Amino acid sequence: MGSSELDGTYQISTVTNYDGPLERKSDGITEIRDGRTSRTDDNKVVWTSDFTVINGKEIKMTSVADPTDAAGDFALTRPDGSPTREPVTYESILRYARKEDKVQMSGQIEYGNEIIFITMRKIGD
């Protein structure tokens, strides 16, 4: 399996244990092409992600979230929980599952005290 086999449009949904004041709006739609994706979420945070196939069941995802042009007083958090307007890098190993034309990648991102469960379901080519 190569990274181009991941190409397509995906619905991203997340669940987090974060309970701070900064409303997360990172869910949405993204398009992977040649193992890369770039999108802007509803807080105007730019997400750039690379996907590397480890094997037929695992994908390494490295995402950089850049809040430089984010809306209003929005900020990301550092590992210690303090707010930042600097780019933040998240890494995770996602489980890859495929059944016929249905593709899903899911896993968890651990960052400081925050745990984010992410699911990416392919919704188009």
pLDDT surpasses 70 at 2: yes
CA distance linking residue 44 with residue 34, whole number of Å: 24
- For residue 21, what pLDDT band results from cuts at 50, 70 and 90? low
| Domain count across the chain | 1
Domain limits for position 20: 3-124
**Mean per-residue pLDDT of the chain:** 91
Q: First and final CA of the chain: distance in angstroms?
A: 17
- Are 7 and 34 in contact by the 8 Å Cβ rule? The answer is yes
Cβ atoms 67, 47 nearer than 8 A: no
Residue 79 has what DSSP assignment? T
Check which CATH number belongs to the domain holding 23 and give it.
2.40.128
Q: What is the mean pLDDT of residues 17-27?
A: 77
The full length of the chain comes to: 125
Q: Which residues pair with 94 in a beta bridge?
A: 59
Residue 121 has pLDDT above 90, yes or no: yes
Residue 87 is predicted with a pLDDT of 97
In the prediction, which pLDDT does 124 show? 94
